[in-house]
């Protein structure tokens, strides 16, 4: 098994400046980002929210209009401090959601 580590870090202006798409794991994170940087409206979404996009999302313009509303029911559970099983469950959910996002990303890259 490969060894790697992850360390969370605060969101900074440099991280969001010029970002075309910002994905969050929790609705509260999305709201905090939009409160701090209102100019991110239409570019910040929940990962699960984006994964639910249908075929009507063809480009960046239709993304915000066609996505279902985000909310706490779409949060990805934070496994921090909850043990190995919670971390594995979170990783599996993230894999599923990211795979669900791939067709959307492909359409956006193709059509703009």
Q: Are 45 and 23 in contact (CB under 8 A)?
A: yes
Q: Read off the pTM.
A: 0.84
Maximum pairwise Cα distance, the chain: 42
pLDDT in the model for residue 4? 63
Per-residue pLDDT of the chain (112 residues; tens, 9 = 90+): 556 666 778 899 999 988 888 999 999 999 999 999 999 998 999 999 999 988 888 788 888 888 888 889 999 999 999 999 999 999 999 999 999 999 988 888 888 7
**Distance from C-alpha of 78 to C-alpha of 32, rounded to nearest angstrom:** 17
Ordered DSSP codes for 69-110: PP-GGGPPPP-TTSHHHHHHHHHHHHHHHHHHHHHHHHHHHH
**Distance from C-alpha of 75 to C-alpha of 78, rounded to nearest angstrom:** 9
Name residues whose C-beta falls within 8 Å of residue 98's C-beta, 6 or more positions apart in sequence. Answer: 47, 51
How many other CB atoms sit within 10 Å of the CB of residue 68?
13
């Amino acid at each position: 098994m490969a060894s790697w580590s992850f360390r969370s870090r605060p969101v900074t202006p440099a991280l969001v400046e010029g970002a075309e798409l910002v994905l969050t794991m929790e609705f509260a994170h999305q709201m905090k980002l939009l409160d701090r940087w209102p100019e991110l409206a239409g570019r910040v979404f929940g990962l699960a929210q984006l994964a639910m996009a249908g075929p009507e999302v063809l480009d960046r313009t239709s993304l915000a209009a066609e996505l279902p509303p985000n909310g706490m029911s779409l949060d990805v559970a934070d496994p921090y401090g909850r043990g190995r099983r919670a971390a594995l469950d979170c990783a599996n959910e993230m894999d599923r959601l990211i795979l669900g996002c791939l067709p959307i990303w492909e359409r956006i890259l193709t059509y703009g």
